[in-house]
Amino acid sequence: MAMTAQEIETMIVAALPDAKVEITDLAGDGDHYAAHVESEAFRGMTRVNQHKAVYAALGGRMGGVLHALQLTTAIPK
């Protein structure tokens, strides 16, 4: 069963409470998403570690119930 955009956002915000999250369903199938996550928690992290933090927030669902996630991260200006 695929994840909804709301479920993805909820999990990310639970792990990164200050995060601003924008989710886009890329294929309209509820299985291929793009996410832009902005959080102060990313300050001082490499881009790779920022992405790892988001993947950790998803609790191992990547590649399973969440098939594809095009991810961009940012630090608030």
Residue 1 is predicted with a pLDDT of 63
> Residue 67 has which token pair?
């098939």
pTM tops 0.75: yes
Residue 47 is predicted with a pLDDT of 97
* Amino acid in the structure at residue 69: L
Q: What is the C-alpha separation between 2 and 35, in angstroms, rounded?
A: 16
Q: What is the mean pLDDT of each run of 10 residues along the chain (77 residues)?
A: 88 97 89 94 97 93 81 96
> Residue 52 has which token pair?
């790892």
59: left (phi over 0), alpha (psi -120 to 50) or beta: left
Instruction: Give all domains of the chain, ordered by start, each with its CATH number.
Output: 5-74 (3.30.300.90)
Residue 16 is predicted with a pLDDT of 97
